[in-house]
Amino acid sequence: MTTDQTTNAAEKAPEPAAAPAAPAVDPRLLVREAGFAGYLAEFKRKMKSGDLGSVPVVLGLILIGAIFQGITGDFLNADNLTNITKWVAGPGLIAVGIVFVLLLGEIDLSLGSIAGVSAAIAAVLSVRSGLNEWLACLIAIAAAVAIGALHGFFFAKIGVPAFVVTLAGLLAWSGLQMYVLGDKGTVNVLNDGVLANLDTYFLGDGDVAFTWGFAVLGIALFGAGQFLDAKRRGDAGLPARPMSEIALRTGVLAVIGLVAAYMLNQDRGLPLPLVIFLSIVVITDFVLRRTSYGRQIFAVGGSVEAARRAGINVAWVRISVFMISAGMAALGGLFIASQQGSADKLLGSGNVLMNSIAAAVIGGTSLFGGRGKTWSALLGILVIQSIITGLDLVHVNQAIQYMITGAVLLGAVVLDSVSRRTQKSSGRG
Amino acid sequence: MTTDQTTNAAEKAPEPAAAPAAPAVDPRLLVREAGFAGYLAEFKRKMKSGDLGSVPVVLGLILIGAIFQGITGDFLNADNLTNITKWVAGPGLIAVGIVFVLLLGEIDLSLGSIAGVSAAIAAVLSVRSGLNEWLACLIAIAAAVAIGALHGFFFAKIGVPAFVVTLAGLLAWSGLQMYVLGDKGTVNVLNDGVLANLDTYFLGDGDVAFTWGFAVLGIALFGAGQFLDAKRRGDAGLPARPMSEIALRTGVLAVIGLVAAYMLNQDRGLPLPLVIFLSIVVITDFVLRRTSYGRQIFAVGGSVEAARRAGINVAWVRISVFMISAGMAALGGLFIASQQGSADKLLGSGNVLMNSIAAAVIGGTSLFGGRGKTWSALLGILVIQSIITGLDLVHVNQAIQYMITGAVLLGAVVLDSVSRRTQKSSGRG
Amino acid sequence: ACGKAGSDKKDDAKGGDSKSIGLLLPENASSVRYESFDKPFIEAKVKELCGDCTVKYSNAEGSAAKQKQQFDTLIAQGVKVIILDAFDAASTQSWVKEAADKGVKVIAYDRLATGPVSAYVSFDNEKVGELQGQALVDALGAKAADANIVMINGDDADPNAGKFKSGAHKVLDGKVKKVVYEQSGEWKPTVAGQKIGAAITQLGKDGFQAVYSANDGMAAAIITQLKSANINVPVGGQDAGLDAIQRLVSGEQSYTIYKAYKPLADSAAELAVALLQGKDVKAVASASIDSDTDKGIPAKLLDPKVVTKANIKDTVIADKLYTVADICTGTYADACKAAGLQ
Amino acid sequence: MTGAPVLALRGVSKRFGAVQALTDVHLEVHAGEVVALVGDNGAGKSTLVKTIAGVHPIDEGAIEWEGSKVAINRPHDAQALGVATVYQDLALCDNLDVVGNLFLGRELRRFGALDEVAMEKRAKELLDTLSIRIPSVRIPIAALSGGQRQVVAIARALVGDPKIVILDEPTAALGVEQTAQVLDLVERLRDRGLGVILISHNMADVKAVADTVAVLRLGRNNGVFEVANTSHEEIISAITGATENAVTRRQARIAEEAK
Amino acid sequence: MTGAPVLALRGVSKRFGAVQALTDVHLEVHAGEVVALVGDNGAGKSTLVKTIAGVHPIDEGAIEWEGSKVAINRPHDAQALGVATVYQDLALCDNLDVVGNLFLGRELRRFGALDEVAMEKRAKELLDTLSIRIPSVRIPIAALSGGQRQVVAIARALVGDPKIVILDEPTAALGVEQTAQVLDLVERLRDRGLGVILISHNMADVKAVADTVAVLRLGRNNGVFEVANTSHEEIISAITGATENAVTRRQARIAEEAK
Ligand SMILES: Nc1ncnc2c1ncn2[C@@H]1O[C@H](COP(=O)(O)OP(=O)(O)OP(=O)(O)O)[C@@H](O)[C@H]1O
Ligand SMILES: Nc1ncnc2c1ncn2[C@@H]1O[C@H](COP(=O)(O)OP(=O)(O)OP(=O)(O)O)[C@@H](O)[C@H]1O
Ligand SMILES: [Mg+2]
Ligand SMILES: [Mg+2]
């Protein structure tokens, strides 16, 4: 529809009944033209006005890949890339937890300690107490969720700022972690047990069919979902994505998915940690964007008072989010334990939390609450892990590594912030 | 004045001109009765409605003192108390910096690293390069202020969230710290030099007159200030504190000050770090509460948009606050270096930042911006240092120490939060 | 072998793998030794033994998980020999096994990594503790039997800290009157300083006659606090950092433990090059040791040395660790003269 | 208007710290009745509304719903009874779009997931009846003008199936046309048998749609009037507490100047 | 009204992302003149005010001040020229008290430090002239009612010495008495020779105090009228863009029902 027509229709044909005289669509809105050309035009406009979405992060990833490949010649090796996909699972899952907390406009500083304590619990129960490993892992995650509930309780019911509750938690749970591990300290995970396999197992023991199947399934589901949604909107008379755009999006995803599958198959196949991490990102994304519960999280993050007045049980939303994030951190902790082959006193300390927060933010989740998605955990942690692995390949001096990590992090975020600021002054902030 | 009179006066004698018909004072306001009895009544009401101010923190301090004295019998020794007053200066000054940032509603995660890097710069310049120590310290603080300006620039001008800028700073500056210290690592501070004396010097080499003088001067200034203020308000026809209340407040301060002076004189006299820390708290408190600049900080912390529209240069306020906090952190770092006798790679890492943040919050500065004072840094760090020192006296296992520190921190803050919540529902939040 | 140093690195990376040696060090927060001594010494020795070999170095910054990533990254790069100073020696079992399966050989350096390592080079850590204890007894001299001791140990989480502690106890228990205060300083100077403050409060100024500090960083803070309380008792540490040597010169610190990094690094480099060239390691690592998981690991165990004011010249200066000019800066010049260094 | 009122407040008091905002307030609302609540600034109107809506629990007194006493401690309680409220400060989530705000807490669902299509359609219909131009229903609330937000807040109250609708100064930010639509809406609600509490400072609007006018003054009841039999001046003097006030003075002066 | 206008907008345009909020807008304000700016919800009135006040810089066009072109890029620039603005969304700092807000950015000082005593006295005087009851001038803004805040925002504009005062719906939340006071205030400002821009949806108020009415519609000028020679209906039809609209329909229906 062109804008002029709408305006005229409304002005020239006022209905005589109590029915509306003005149209709900504003004639000043520069509506996107139908079809593919319109899509391209809007894309250009968005780029110009700084509404870049994930584009800078993806460009950043490509840049990082190109630079390190140029320097070392090893970065894009199949086995190096496979390693990266395996290693993102641990901190990435913690970052998913962080995204939930950030959406509430809060921060959880204890997630690193929680990852550490649950890894310790799982390892001690399965190795020292000889419990079934599945059960041990479940108990560890349950313990973490209980810890999250405790934090949530102090925050939501007692009113202690989340920052402080989780700061106290950070200290207390790393104490518990030491206590659980006891005097002997480090506990090795069982050889070829469940915990060990979290990191080292490849689906179908490296069978290429699994990789291809996973990729094709993902692409097909995405395409079908987009198509059905557009169809329903069209049927209901609402503006919908044009088919050409859906085809383009699905095509881009297909290329990425199939290239990734090909690379993985060059090495050991489809790593279990990647499958689990991707599945969790997809599920949590669905929860956040397509369920009432997810909507409630956004509402509380946007305005606590408005959410409360809308009848939302704010305390419960807050408590449950802290439970979810603690659960994610616990799962992440198990992956880290699997990766290092043991649970030790320092697991989850140091940079783990920082990297996960940075991942969420780099990926585009707002620190100010109410805006973000779990995909940002995936994108962000890929950036960070690529830089870390790349620097390890280059073997530069440690002090320089620190500074480079800091600088790149800053660079990525500056780009993001500048784009977001332009966006805000264009009224979509 | 009693409320009824006012109402009646306003209602029965409406002025015929355009002058006001309604009085500016609301008749429903339960005005405090004049005189001392009214003061007591209001104090009771405040206690009941949860507006406790610093009372819970002070009670907490007394409790901590009593418990550890009970267990060890050594806690209230003059030399232990002197040690505590010396040790609070380093983290306390960092906490003052944190208070500034928190008032803006932001957080600075890099202050620990900044403390470390400036201690390193001061030590390396004075010891390795043989520069005059005063000059070396000044350069170190100037470097920190420059770092703060850089952070502020990225935050205020580019729009990167402060959380992220300072997270990047945390990594980058600890890299710089290592680089400055170089291969040889730790640098000893000069014997009996300026840096060494920051921690170890006692005013007048322990002369009791200094302690008494400092205490009496402080008490007198406080009393005179309160008296003059009340007099001016009274003269202007505004409600003022009754003389009895001023006498009471000055009396309480006098008791605390004189007891502290007596205790210090039992040991080595008046420690330089205490004098500097107290002076800085007093000065910053004045800046925050009694100058336009301080008012601007509160305004930006309360509502950025409102502050901007009031013509305040928001970017400058933000940048300058990051400069101040970095400068405070640098000063804190020098005290820590003096305390440990050297500048090393670990200075400022680990719990330093956490403890300082916790101190600010325990002392009553809001994490949500726009509310707090630098006195909270003093009160909070006293609580934390007392617990740490007390636990050291008790010789408990490290794991348990962690848990106790976490739990006490939580306890202190719960009390504070509950009281603040009650306060909020009474409309003063 | 000799040859030109600084050979073409790019060539190396491509051609592989038989020319590069991985070096993984655990951290650099608590001690400077890793980047200032171990790394350069190993690099130099490798260059000396094999001119076109390179060393690929990474530091785990105190995280076992990070070290695992660096370990795997080296394998992904095709490195065949890795010198591993494990951040958490107990964790490495599965990594080393994985590497062994791929034909990558691992040398346990400094800390005895678990798993099927090809060789082990280290100081005897328990011995370090024993030497520390003995040096403290020596510093006390005749008063030793009546002396009360304060011990500030390393971080409980570090297995070596436990060895230092038990070694020290082995000597001290019995030779001194009593260990009256014992706490972990967590390897952190500020913490150690505050612990000693608590000890002074509790025991009084005359309540102890010597302080055992697990390392030099903590010793520095302890000495500062003692000075401020006007207490002068023997304090010792370990690591032989420049700052510690200076304190020895000025008489503030009694001893430090010097683990001559050079022989340690040289042995590791020799072993690595030997493994790279397919030679037998027994020529260097003639001893044998058992780890928690494996038995009969070829090992080379070196002896640490005690450094006091008296033997600075014969140890750290003789080994070119520091020059006299390094040590005798500004305020230390007079003390240096008195100690006969200048 | 006979039978038990849908909602009745009996002797409600509310205090904020040092301010006694409400003292012993009574109010009744029957089905099919529009009650205008008027009073000076700071009289306590919004506070009263918030106590009914469960935002602040009351300190003393009782709330009766269809004749029986109820406890309203949180907004959820009020909603469950059937109270829909449009707050003076709107209380919208700035980060959610118009659709998200309209259905917040009452989302339409399909197979358990949100039914965005149905919600978007319904949102357009609702906004159309209030004749407002909004650039797009997928725009975040933060980008709307004051009046546009107000209309979204009013539309929110119509989602669901309330028995009582409370409007706290709903037309304050609205243009003449939108104001007329809202007054129409109030009448439609009354005709559907709902009780309406309308707060407004505009006496013309009040007289146009209200059946009863309840006046609050300094947190206390200051009279209840039948609109049909009460003059403008009577209401104003009940509000200001004096027959001589700024309004009358202004009128007198203007009249004088006109001469 | 002769001579160069104090403030003139020439062909001002402003765009937010996909929304063209203002297109080629002209406006003139002379000293001693009250210009009413009216328009439908979302017409762009507040956006126009914000461009003058420096909150959003303009995209195209020019702003002239006393005949010469000026650049207003930030609120400070506008204040320096002598523009005082009361925003529709008030823009007060919730955490500061009434005195703090009133003098924000223009604190009174004594020996370099804040002169709280002088400020408190002056604050009381200012609020008295607007006849509002506020529990205490030391209460944080967060605890005030909607109307009380509005009055504080209006009083803010009187601190300092402006040449033009812009009031964006200043009486929206005000009671009848306070509204009368604000209208008085507007007249006093005019008499002191200040230019006033008044935005309001209340035609009665507009007709009472304005000299000129400028109408905005969908972000464009839609006529400037002399108040004295223009009827209510003419203005309303300029606002809604049609002679037949919800207002007239409503009136017609009510008239019919009355029969
Ligand atoms: N920050 C912004 N981002 C995007 N769009 C905006 C922004 N501010 C205003 N708009 C749009 O500009 C148009 C004009 O808004 P404006 O606030 O100026 O209207 P108004 O005339 O003041 O209306 P009202 O009478 O309701 O206050 C509206 O359609 C609004 O959606
Ligand atoms: N949260 C709060 N804390 C303290 N006082 C409050 C609070 N909310 C309201 N008040 C006080 O209660 C009184 C009544 O406020 P309320 O908002 O109910 O007035 P109102 O009648 O709605 O006025 P208006 O017409 O201006 O909106 C005011 O004096 C106000 O200062
Ligand atoms: Mg109100
Ligand atoms: Mg507006």
pLDDT tens-place string over residues A205-221: 878 888 999 999 999 99
CB contact under 8 A, B292 and E114: yes
CB contact under 8 A, B403 and A164: no
Chain A: give the shortest CA distance to residue C8, in Å: 13
CB contact under 8 A, B339 and C186: no
CB contact under 8 A, A426 and E244: no
What value does the mean pLDDT take over residues C332-340? 85
Is pLDDT of B15 > 60? no
Backbone angles phi, psi at D172, to 5 degrees: -55, -40
Pick C186 or A379 by higher pLDDT.
Answer: A379
Q: What is the pLDDT of residues C253-274, one digit of tens each?
A: 999 999 888 889 999 999 999 9
Residue D160 beta carbon below 6 angstroms from any ligand 1 atom: no
Residue where the block lists tokens 């402006």: E162
For residue A171 the two structure tokens come to 């200290």
Is pLDDT of C318 > 90? no
Residue B9 pLDDT grade (very low, low, confident, very high; cuts 50, 70, 90): very low
Residue B101 pLDDT grade (very low, low, confident, very high; cuts 50, 70, 90): very high
Q: What is the pLDDT of residues D216-243, one digit of tens each?
A: 988 899 889 998 888 888 888 888 876 6
What value does the mean pLDDT take over residues C9-21? 53
ipTM for this prediction: 0.79
Strands annotated E in C66-191: 81-84, 105-109, 119-123, 148-153, 178-184
D124, amino acid identity: K
Closest listed residue to residue D85, CA positions, set D30, D162, D144: D162
What integer best gives the mean pLDDT of chain B? 82
Q: What is the pLDDT of residues D65-111, one digit of tens each?
A: 998 999 999 899 999 999 999 998 878 888 899 999 999 988 888 88
Please state, in angstroms and rounded to a whole number, the distance separating the CA atoms of residues A271 and A273.
6
Q: What is the pLDDT of residues C87-101, one digit of tens each?
A: 888 888 888 988 998
Is pLDDT of A8 > 50? no
List alpha helices for chain D, DSSP H: 45-53, 75-81, 98-102, 116-129, 146-158, 176-191, 203-209, 232-240, 246-258
Is pLDDT of B202 > 60? yes
DSSP C243: H
Residue D51 pLDDT grade (very low, low, confident, very high; cuts 50, 70, 90): very high
* The pLDDT value given to residue A11: 37
Q: Is B132 on the interface with A (CB under 8 A)?
A: no
A 10 A CB-CB count for D218 gives: 20
Q: Is C9 on the interface with A (CB under 8 A)?
A: no
Residue B207 pLDDT grade (very low, low, confident, very high; cuts 50, 70, 90): confident
* The pLDDT value given to residue E178: 82
CB contact under 8 A, D17 and B427: yes
Q: Is B16 on the interface with D (CB under 8 A)?
A: yes
Q: What is the pLDDT of residues A118-140, one digit of tens each?
A: 999 999 999 888 889 999 999 99
CB contact under 8 A, B175 and A402: yes
A 10 A CB-CB count for A34 gives: 12
Nearest to C189 among B77, B130, B344 (CB): B344
Nearest to D175 among E40, E131, E174 (CB): E40
Ligand nearest to the CA of D38: 2
- As for ligand 2, residues whose beta carbon falls within 6 Å of it are B 26, 427; D 16-17, 19, 21, 39, 41-47, 88; E 135, 143-148, 173, 175
For residue C143 the two structure tokens come to 């008063």
What value does the mean pLDDT take over residues C185-193? 83
What value does the mean pLDDT take over residues A356-369? 80
Contact B296, B285 (CB under 8 A): no
A 10 A CB-CB count for A382 gives: 22
Those chains having 3 or more beta-carbon pairs within 8 angstroms of chain E are A, B, D
Nearest to E133 among B26, B307, B310 (CB): B26
Please state, in angstroms and rounded to a whole number, the distance separating the CA atoms of residues B62 and A417.
47
DSSP C287: E
Contact B23, B4 (CB under 8 A): no
Nearest to E143 among B238, B371, B427 (CB): B427
CB contact under 8 A, A342 and C77: no
Residue where the block lists tokens 């009434």: E98
Residue E43 beta carbon below 6 angstroms from any ligand 1 atom: yes
Q: Is A409 on the interface with B (CB under 8 A)?
A: yes
Chain D: give the shortest CA distance to residue A318, in Å: 15
CB contact under 8 A, A427 and E218: no
Q: What is the pLDDT of residues B281-336, one digit of tens each?
A: 999 999 999 999 999 999 999 888 899 999 899 999 999 999 999 999 999 999 99
For residue C199 the two structure tokens come to 């000890």
Atom of ligand 2 nearest to the CA of E175: 25
pTM value?
0.82
For a ligand 1 pocket test, name from E38, E47, E240 the mutation site with the most ligand atoms within 8 angstroms of its C-beta: E47
Four-CA torsion A141, A146, A147, A151, nearest 10 degrees? 140
Q: Would you report the helix, strand and coil content of chain A in percent, each value rounded to 5?
A: 75, 0, 25
Q: What is the pLDDT of residues E200-246, one digit of tens each?
A: 988 888 988 999 999 998 889 988 999 888 888 888 888 887 666 66
**B102, B403, B416: best to mutate for the A interface, most A CBs within 10 A:** B403
Chain D: give the shortest CA distance to residue B18, in Å: 8
What value does the mean pLDDT take over residues B373-396? 87
Chain E partners within 8 Å of A425 (Cβ): 56
Nearest to C68 among A178, A339, A351 (CB): A339
CA dihedral (D170, D174, D176, D177) positive or negative: negative
Cβ within 8 Å of E, A 32-91: 45, 49, 51
Q: What is the pLDDT of residues C284-308, one digit of tens each?
A: 888 888 887 888 899 988 888 999 9
Is pLDDT of C7 > 50? no
Please state, in angstroms and rounded to a whole number, the distance separating the CA atoms of residues D94 and D100.
10
Least confident of A322-331, B91-100, E21-30, E136-145: E136-145
Atom of ligand 1 nearest to the CA of D149: 26
Chain A: give the shortest CA distance to residue D141, in Å: 10
Least confident of A28-42, A44-58, C265-279: A28-42
Taking every pair of Cα atoms in chain D, the longest distance, rounded to a whole number of angstroms, is 73
- 3-state DSSP assignment of residue E56: coil
Is pLDDT of E105 > 60? yes
Q: Is D160 on the interface with E (CB under 8 A)?
A: no
What value does the mean pLDDT take over residues B382-411? 78
Tell me what percent of the residues of chain A surpass a pLDDT of 90. 35
* The pLDDT value given to residue C14: 35
Ligand nearest to the CA of E141: 2
Q: What is the pLDDT of residues B216-267, one digit of tens each?
A: 999 999 999 999 989 998 888 888 888 888 898 899 899 999 999 998 998 8
* The pLDDT value given to residue D7: 93
* The pLDDT value given to residue B389: 86
Pick D72 or A7 by higher pLDDT.
Answer: D72
* The pLDDT value given to residue B382: 92
Reported as half-sphere exposure (CB side, CA atoms, 13 A), residue D198 has a value of 32
Is pLDDT of A20 > 60? no
Residue D135 beta carbon below 6 angstroms from any ligand 1 atom: yes
Ligand nearest to the CA of E134: 2
CB contact under 8 A, B24 and E100: no
Q: Is B19 on the interface with D (CB under 8 A)?
A: no
Please state, in angstroms and rounded to a whole number, the distance separating the CA atoms of residues E237 and E38.
12
Length of chain B: 429
Residue B428 CA, ligand 2 centroid: distance in Å: 13
Locate the chain E residue with the closest alpha carbon to A16: E249
What value does the mean pLDDT take over residues B132-158? 94
* The pLDDT value given to residue E24: 92
Is pLDDT of B17 > 90? no
Cβ within 8 Å of D, E 70-99: 88-89
Nearest to C76 among A83, A336, A395 (CB): A83
For residue E157 the two structure tokens come to 């504009």
Closest listed residue to residue A377, CA positions, set A13, A101, A27: A101
Chain A partners within 8 Å of C187 (Cβ): none
* The pLDDT value given to residue B12: 35
Q: What is the pLDDT of residues C216-240, one digit of tens each?
A: 888 988 998 898 888 999 999 998 8
Residue B2 pLDDT grade (very low, low, confident, very high; cuts 50, 70, 90): very low
Contact E74, E105 (CB under 8 A): no
For residue B246 the two structure tokens come to 């001023």
* The pLDDT value given to residue A280: 96
What value does the mean pLDDT take over residues D119-125? 90
For a ligand 1 pocket test, name from E12, E14, E15, E16 the mutation site with the most ligand atoms within 8 angstroms of its C-beta: E16
